[in-house]
Amino acid sequence: MKSFLILTASISLFLIYLTPCLAADSLSIEAVRAKQVLDDSDFKAIDNFVAGAVGEMLDTEDFSSISNIRAIIIANSSSTQPNQTQFSEQFSKSAQKYISAALTKAETITPPERSFKIITNLLMLVDGLADIRLTDVALKYADSKNEVIRYWSIHSVTNPQITEQLNSPKAIDTARQVIRRLDEVVSKTSPDGVVLIASFAGSIKISEGESLLLKAADSRIACYADWTVEQELLDARILQILADKMTASNAAKDVAGKRFGQLLSYVFQRYIKSDDVLSDLQKEQLVSVLVCTEQNCLSKITGKPRFEIKKAIESADANALQQAQNTLLGDQTKAGELNINYGKDPGGVSITHPVALSGPPE
């Protein structure tokens, strides 16, 4: 309650600095939010508010204030009355109309730096509104050449509030649409984006989410294989999601387990074979992934506390670390303790170990 009062006071104070038109719209919307039944004039007030606020974002030259405008829009995006669907439906309709138009116009703005800032802030607004009906607007930018724009596009369709809405049986078609689009971009997005997609795929309840998760894991595995991987620390999260799938469903155990074993093996091997190729920060990130995975995933999967990896790293014993990997994930002589199914070779013989990581490029 205290935080709400602080936010309300901050918004009221900021109204002083808005254009007179937008300030009036903001005061009008507060009255509409308190109504139990809306009429045509109320719908018009909502539309005017969204049009004015989004227009203010589009036209601003002072980007120090744009976050405040976003906050005002988001704070006024729902009715204060319980179960008032008239308000939310009109607000959503207006948001779709004006944010979409603003994004289209922002693409033509010069200089490019100003265009970038406006598009980014509009996508951050979409993210904050967390309205499933705005997913189309955001997904348009999922393969943007600009990494920041791409990130916020993906974030706005994968945040937990959106995921919860997409898990409704009524939203299955929209969920599939989002998954199809993310499937198109997951292999060419940033590491941050891959983790957002993997987290979303691990939480979405329809079967297509599993394929998206595997593709996200495969994209990280491919980066390890050719020594182009960045932000290794993020793989602790992907390994956790895969481990959760392994323990939650027998049907997912083989496909998720294969990616878990391969990705974890590459983390082991990258650390063991790094020598002078990697920076201290990269090595620290790999250590964090290994230790966190041992504590949070391996202990859960095997049902007992694990310390072998941590001890091998602390003693700087590469042989012990390699043995820990072989014991868990398997080697050429036998399957590992996790009993992961890595598939079969061309002769139909079961593969008992993950693919070895080649040495770093010279």
- Burial letters for 300-311: b for 16+ Cβ neighbours within 10 Å, e otherwise? ebeeeebebbee
Please provide the average confidence, as pLDDT, over all residues in the chain.
91
In angstroms, the CA 29 to CA 48 distance is: 9
With 60 as the cut, is the pLDDT of residue 346 above it?
A: yes
Q: What is the pLDDT of residue 156?
A: 98
Domain extent for 252? 232-362
Peptide linkage before 360 cis (omega within 30 of 0): no
Q: What is the pLDDT of residues 41-80, one digit of tens each?
A: 999 999 999 999 999 999 988 888 899 999 999 999 999 9
In angstroms, the CA 14 to CA 22 distance is: 11
Region 294-312: what's the mean pLDDT?
A: 94
- Within 38-133, strands assigned E span none
- Kindly report the length of the chain: 362
Q: What is the pLDDT of residues 177-227, one digit of tens each?
A: 999 999 999 999 999 999 999 999 999 999 999 999 999 999 999 999 999
Do 5 and 77 sit in the same domain of this protein? yes
Give how many domains the chain has, as a whole number.
Answer: 3
In angstroms, the CA 316 to CA 143 distance is: 42
Do 64 and 154 sit in the same domain of this protein? no
Of 142, 222, 151, 228, give the one whose Cα is nearest residue 190: 151
Q: What is the pLDDT of residue 9?
A: 46
Q: What is the pLDDT of residues 81-134, one digit of tens each?
A: 999 999 999 999 999 999 999 999 999 999 999 999 999 999 999 999 999 999
Do 23 and 120 sit in the same domain of this protein? yes
* pTM for the model: 0.91
- Triad 107, 137, 113: Cα angle to 5°: 25
Domain boundary among 99, 129, 159: 129
33 against 252, higher pLDDT:
33
What DSSP line would sit under 81-105, residue for residue? STT-HHHHHHHHHHHHHHHHHHHHH
Residue 345 CB coordination number (10 Å):
9
pLDDT cut 90: percent of the chain above it: 83
The answer to whether 14 and 68 are in contact (CB under 8 A) is yes
Do 28 and 68 sit in the same domain of this protein? yes
The pLDDT confidence band at residue 4, using thresholds 50, 70 and 90, is very low
Do 70 and 179 sit in the same domain of this protein? no
With 70 as the cut, is the pLDDT of residue 21 above it?
A: no
- Residues 338, 339, 341, 347: is their CA dihedral positive or negative? positive
Do 58 and 160 sit in the same domain of this protein? no
The answer to whether 344 and 350 are in contact (CB under 8 A) is yes
Domain boundary among 103, 129, 155: 129
Do 283 and 311 sit in the same domain of this protein? yes
With 60 as the cut, is the pLDDT of residue 266 above it?
A: yes
DSSP 296: I
In order of 121, 134, 285, the CA distances from 189 in angstroms are: 20, 21, 20
Q: What is the pLDDT of residues 124-165, one digit of tens each?
A: 999 999 999 999 999 999 999 999 999 999 999 999 999 999
Do 339 and 255 sit in the same domain of this protein? yes
Domain boundary among 197, 225, 253: 225
Do 203 and 240 sit in the same domain of this protein? no
70 against 25, higher pLDDT:
70
Do 212 and 280 sit in the same domain of this protein? no
Query: Chain centroid to CA 274: how far?
Result: 29
Do 259 and 339 sit in the same domain of this protein? yes
Do 146 and 115 sit in the same domain of this protein? no
